[in-house]
Amino acid sequence: MQLKLKKVNMKLLVLLFSVAIANLLTGCMQTRHITEKYIKTNIEKHNQGEFSTIKTYTIYKGLSYGGSAYLELTGYKYSNTKALVLGADKYFYARQKFKGDQTMIANITYIELNMSQCKDIITNYKILQDRIKSERPKKNEEIYHDFTVSNDLFISFRKSSGYMNVSYIDFWINGEKYRISTATIISKLNKFMAY
């Protein structure tokens, strides 16, 4: 009986410790709302003395695989329009002006996609996956298969000798790569299309 009680107490202690660690970690993370800012100030119209309403739908918020950049995808419904805004930011160290200078520059890019372009991502990612799987790159060769969604965005898969990972899809936004989980983004885009 005492052994069972000790096991239960130990499990409870581990659970409480896990919850405390999770709260500590999430409490330290900065919440970002880069797409909210764009949608509320560039898409929704605000006229003095008038009311306005917009609906937003969070699709994805998170770090690019590898942690070098942050990406948000937020859908919206406004004035008989349904569309998607991609907000992408990368941070770069500025050239040092003095010893120990740690100045960082934020580069934030916004892209708006219509529903046809969203559907193109869902339809064509699988074609890219199938094409890249059939490739046999030579030593030191890399093969890319891309689909252009808009002037500012193409999606891509890459394969090199001995390496292929279609678990992650690359979103190339204005020449910068953002890698995210293929299954996650496609699932969430499908839910947004049905929204």
Q: Which of 24-28, 65-69, 111-115, 160-164 has the least mean pLDDT?
A: 24-28
| Sequence-ordered list of residues with C-beta below 8 angstroms from that of 159, at least 6 positions apart, any chain | 132, 133, 135, 137, 142, 143
Spatial distance between the Cα atoms of 110 and 38, rounded to a whole number of angstroms: 8
| Greater model confidence, 47 or 13 | 47
- pTM of the prediction? 0.75
Place of tokens 């100030």: 41
For the chain, the first-to-last Cα distance in angstroms comes to 53
- The neighbour count for residue 129, using CB atoms within 10 Å, is 15
**Contact criterion met (CB below 8 Å) for 185 and 167:** no
Q: Tokens representing 59?
A: 């699709």
pLDDT digits (tens, 9 = 90+) for 76-110: 999 999 999 999 988 777 788 888 888 877 788 99
Architecture of domain 34-194: 2-Layer Sandwich (3.30)
Q: Where exactly are the structural domains of the chain?
A: 34-194
**Contact criterion met (CB below 8 Å) for 167 and 182:** yes
pLDDT digits (tens, 9 = 90+) for 19-44: 344 343 333 434 468 999 999 999 99
